Structure formats: C-alpha cells, structure tokens
Structure 1
C-alpha cells in the first residue's frame, strides 16, 4: 500500500510533535549541562573536557541544533582553585548586562570541591572568577553542582549539593551504605549574585528511594510553585534519574514527586540526569550515558509539559 504524500507528511509531523525528548543533540561528552537564552542565542555549558575548564555550545534556533564551540568559558578557575575537575556550571543573566557563572572546582586548601562564581558581560565568556568561593562545606564532603535562581522580587540565590558521598563511605558512589547525607542547600546572595548573605538553608535530602545520594539541583518558579529538579542514585548506574520536588516557599518544605521525571528506558535513555530547565519551565537540557561507554554523557533536550505541579516530558 502506498500512502499519499500529504498523509505521509502529516504522519511524519505528528511523530515529530510527539518526540519531546531529542538527542543526543551534542554527541560528545557534555555532562551536567545548563542552559541560558540571551540576545537571540541559546547557550549550553558543561563540565570540563581535556584542557577546557568549562565547555560551551551554542544554538541559533532555540535549542534544536547545536554547535560545540571548543572554547573555554572559564580559562581561569580562580586563585582558590585548581584546574582539571571543574564541574556542573550554571549561568544566569543578572539583568544589568552581566552574566554570573556558578561552578564547582577543587580547592587545595580545603581538600574538597567548593562552589565558585565568575562574571562576564558576554554570555559565552570568558568569565572572570571571584577571589573566594561562595561555599565549601568541607566537613560535609564539599560543595558541588551549583545552580542560580532569581525570585520574582529580584532576590538571587544559588542551590548546591553537599557532597557527602565524597567522605568515603564505600560502595556505590562512595556512599553505598548510605552513611552520609547529601543535602541540597539554598544560599541567598546579594544583588551582585556572587556574595553570600546569611546562612545556607537545607531544602532537601536523600530518602530511601534515592539510594546513596541526590545531586544536580536546579530551581525554577512555575505558576507560583517552586520546583526543584534533582538527580538521585549513582550516575554510573542504570538507577540514575531526573526527579523533582515542589514547594510554596523558596526555602521549602519541598515535597518530592511520586515518581521521577525520567528514568532508564524512557525514550531509549540510559541513566538520564543533570537536568537544567529554562526559567519558564518550557524546555530543558540533560545528559544520558551511551551504551558503549557509560562514562560518556552526551547532551539531550526535552520539551516540558505541566499539569498543575506535575511535570512530564
């Protein structure tokens, strides 16, 4: 049977419309991606690769097609840090022509990762680091996976993970016996976006279903509800996922959704994690592993759908 051309096109378009998860859109190791839209271009930033501390990719069409620039958005990680393990960057538009990048880097003086901040007037960089980190949480194992957030009143925050599984509890991801907590912290910042004010507040921690850890927080406000995205379980296992929790106040309490947003097997994905949505909650980037190499994590995208406080892709 031969389908009419018009019907074939309609079926193809319908299939594409249903394909809300796309990728890999960057078919290279691009883990822990974040997303920024600025001046008609969409940017993605990722963990270090080789001699590049922070990878950058650009999209001219809202996230459909991507080009890896092979430039370093953060050539100088700061005097407090060393190069080589610069993780999980996130960039926000401060609203005054300055962009703020949050990142995690190793601090020789602390012996752990700390969360740092850097600024630039060009969203692609290069970013200039601050002389001191925002958070270290050394006793808890370090601070990693930062993400910026601006509330409706203009107040700036950064969320991050206390890296408890770095304390060496043993087993899966260093915390297989779940000896240490891995809380998500909320730190208020001054209007410069780089200076902490007040003490950090714990807004979430792992539960039994989360295995050894939760990590990779990203916070947005959607129709009056604060939505905290995070990953749970270990990144190099098939249990790694993308989940979320909701609250009526930025400082919580947050209630975890009844089921994860994405797990292994959804849309052919393996170990999806490290998601960052646009501030309006319409679109997100994330990584997943390849079957041939679980340590290679290309970037994927997804269109987000909402039903009240329930998210789907």
Structure 2
C-alpha cells in the first residue's frame, strides 16, 4: 500500500533514516518500530516489565473510557451478559466487575438467542453515553452494527431505533465499531466481516453526525484490507489515533482462537498515514504477538488506546485459562510510531553508528546484513532505542562468535551498565544473549564496545 515499489528491507531502512534525522544527525536509530515475530524467543527475565493482566476471566475486545475519577471497561458478551462491564480507579486496577448487564435488553432488530453481542465502544456525547455494538440481525442472520444510549456509563444502554446503524449482509455483515473525532467531525470505523463469506475483509471509515453519532454523512472510505499471509484472511478491530502528526490505525489479525497446542496466532499490529483517509501503510512487523511478549500473552488483540495520567496505554485481551482476559501495557511514541513496553522491538545493527567496524552481507541474518570487524579497542556499534517509560528493560542481542568465548561492554547513554557474553560457537551460527539495562523515557543510546575476543552483531531487540 505504497505509491512506489519498495522492498521490505528498503522500507525499514528509509524509516530508520527518518528517525535518525529526527533525533540527531550523528545517531543511528531503529524506527519503524514494531514488535518482533520470532520462532525462538529468549526467555523473559525479571528485569523487564511485560504487559500486565489487570482483569481475569472472560473480558474480550475491551473498550475503556474515563468518567470523572473512574475508568469503565466494556467487553464482548460473557457470563450471561450481553455487555459485561467493569470499573477501576486506575488502568492498573483494581478492576471490579459490575453485577449488572450494561445492555440487558436486546433491541428489536437483533436476534434474541445466542451470544452475538461483540466488541462494544462507548463514548460521551454531551450528557449522553453512546455505545456502538455488534449484534446478529434477526432479518439477515449476519453481524451488524447498532447504536444504543444511556444516561450513565454503566448503563442500562437501550436502542429503540428498530434497525441496525450499519449493515451490509451481502458483504458478510459488519463488526468491531470504533469512534474517532477530529476538527469537530465524528467518524465511525468498522470492519466488513467479509471473511465470514470467504472473502477478504476491509476496514472502513465513515463520517457520522457530530450531533447524534448515528446519521451517516457522505460515503465510507476503505482504509485497509487483509493482504498478508500471517493475517490468515482476517483483519479487524480498528482503533484510530493521531500522534505527532501521524495517523496510526491499530488492528488485530489472524485466527482469534487457539490451535491444538493451545497457542493463538492472533496479534495486534498497525498501519500509518499522513492523512486521515489514507493511504495507510502497514508496519513491517506486528506490534504485539505471543512471541514478542516472550509468551506472556497468548493471542493479543481487540485493542484500545487509552490515555492515563502517565501517558498512553494499550488495552487488549489475551487467552488465559479463564478465557480472553484484559491486559494493559505502557504505550509510547517516536515520530508517530508506537512502542509497547514489554513487546520486543527490533533494531538492526547495520543501521547503527559504527566506529572501527564494518557491515557485511550474511544470508542467515535479519535483513541480510551484520556488523563485523569489531576487533579493536575503539571498535563499537551504537544504536538508539526508544523506551515508553523509564525503568528496566531487557536487550536481546543476536550474535555469532566462532573463535572462543567473547564479550562486548554495553554502555547506556555513555555509562557502562553490563556486559554481553557470547559463548563460543561458529561464525554464521546466530544465537541470542540477554543483557538487562535501565533506560530513561524516550531515546537512549546503547553502545556495544569490543571486549574479550571477537563477535559479530546482527540485531538487538528491546522489551
């Protein structure tokens, strides 16, 4: 979804060059920051802060809003409730499930049996609370989007319109509504549920009346479509924000359930654009996956972006033994690109600032290049990484050492914080070692300096 043909490696290189210019002309930075999909992640260490499970049990597709001093969360039907709710004094909790159903009565246009109420989105419009929700049309037997209102955030929400707000049964139906406002205008985002009829789904943007949030204005605009193998024919759950001049469209993709091994391939990713209506370009790698969180989360998706007292947070669900439970993670931004604390971000060594070292091609390496000849006392590789919050992180270093055990001294912002140890192996046999570090919020310089013997660097991942 770019205007000119660009290879994946070249696209990442161009983004990283832009990041370098943004921060400092003498620094090499790893932007286009995304979570890593890797088949053999190193075990997580206690130093890093993973996404936190803040509400157990089944609470899928969470939507969170703040009213006064209280956070309210809404989820897909569970426990006999059409719209389960919970409240908390902070995003970290403690969260308390409400005993009442936020939408106890199904509207007349909705099928009256079965668990078909999905992915509610709630926002305030004047003194009224508005809920976009997905339900099964009694006429078309497809999922469609409705709108309900309440005088209180906990409900009860009612929909007396007698019909769905958005419904395209010929396209497989519509699900996963989200709200976005800009310049006095309101928009609804949603997914055409085309994969329900074996066709590629699309994420749409539609302007609605700023006065009532329901009346459609003009024509809808297609923002993003399923077009990658790892998406398994599914792209859904759009969430749109604008940060640092860039539009960021989060979405979930892949199979939401679990395979025979109990592993869910569902993941959260994003696409960016410089204009509201696109073109949107997908991130090079997914943002949050089971692997990128070192297996802390299983099938992370159904995300929402919520701003707290300490900045933005990503709220999402993940499979647990209790169901799809709610998680929270710190979310930061660099040049309009998201970084999630606890989800690995990859930075290529060859894009760093090199001193008395050189880049060579390597077929088995990430992006096909590595840094070698880090052979002398003044040899070093400096990478700039981004931390959403100050604190402890793990730096996972992919290396090769084939002439005895080797080390690099690891400096963070010009202060040595540790040593990367590289057990002897073989050149072009790439392995990973982990170094715990403490980072400040924002951009940090991590420098690898020649230590004992010799090693080559492929890339690092920071979580």
Provide the TM-score with structure 1 as the length reference.
Answer: 0.85
User: Which of 252, 260, 278 does residue 306 from structure 2 map onto?
Assistant: 278
Matches within 5 A, 1:68-147: 68-83=97-112, 84-94=115-125, 96-131=126-161, 132-147=163-178
Q: Which of 198, 202, 207 is equivalent to 2:222? A: 202
2:336 is aligned with 1:309: yes
- Among 47, 52, 61, the alignment partner of 2:76 is 47
Q: What residue is the counterpart of 2:288 in the other structure? A: 262
SS of 1:42's equivalent in the other structure is strand
Structure 1 residues not aligned, in runs of 5+: 1-14, 170-179
Corresponding residue to 2:208 among 176, 180, 189: 189
Deviations 1:77-110 (A, max 9, x none): 321112431000011122x122211110000112
Gaps of 5+ in 2: 1-45, 259-263, 341-463
Larger Rg: 2
Distance across 2 between alignment mates of 1:104 and 1:234: 19
Q: Report the secondary structure of 2:196's partner residue.
A: helix
Separation (CA, whole Å) in 1 of partners of 2:270 and 2:150? 30
- 1:279 Cα deviation from its structure 2 partner: 5.9
Residue matched to 2:185: 155
Deviation (angstroms), 1:202: 0.9
The alpha carbon displacement at 1:253 in A equals 1.2
SS at match of 2:216: coil
Structure 2 counterpart of 1:175: none
Can you list the C-alpha shifts for 1:118-144, whole angstroms capped at 9, x where unaligned?
Answer: 112211111121512121111110001
Contact 1:73 1:126 in 2 (8 A): yes
CA contact (8 A) 2:142 2:169 kept: yes
Query: Alignment partner of 2:147: what SS?
Result: strand
1:287–1:300 Cα contact (<8 Å) kept: yes
Counterpart Cα distance in 1 of 2:196 and 2:283: 26
> 1:223 and 1:279 mapped to 2: Cα distance?
15
The 8 Å contact of residues 245 and 336 in structure 2, kept in 1 or not, is answered as: no
Partner of 2:447: none
CA distance in 1 between partners of 2:59 and 2:91 (Å): 18
Aligned to 1:233: 254
Range that drifts further, 265-274 or 102-111 = 265-274
Is the strand fraction higher in 1 or 2? 2
* Deviation, structure 1 residue 244: 0.7
Give the SS at the match of 2:133: strand
Q: Counterparts of 1:216-227 in structure 2 under 5 Å?
A: 216-227=237-248
Return the alpha-carbon distance in structure 2 between the equivalents of residues 264 and 29 of structure 1. 18
Structure 1 residue aligned with 2:327: 300
TM-score (norm 2): 0.58
Counterparts of 2:178 and 2:315 in 1: how far apart (Å)?
Answer: 14
CA distance in 2, matches of 1:145, 1:279: 21
SS at match of 1:149: strand
Within the candidate set 43, 47, 51, 1:21 is matched to 51
Tell me the equivalent position of 1:5: none
Are the counterparts in 2 of residues 226 and 249 from structure 1 also a CA contact under 8 Å?
Answer: yes
> Helix, strand or coil: the match of 1:129?
coil
Q: SS of the counterpart of 2:170?
A: helix
CA shift for structure 1 position 159: 0.6
Distance 2:80 2:179 in 1: 25
Deviation at 1:165, TM superposition (A): 1.6
Cα distance in 1, alignment partners of residues 254 and 148 from structure 2: 30
Question: In the superposition, relative to structure 1, how do residues 308 and 77 fare at CA in structure 2: closer, same or farther (>3 Å)?
Answer: farther
- Which range is displaced more, 71-80 or 278-287? 278-287
Q: CA RMSD in A?
A: 1.8
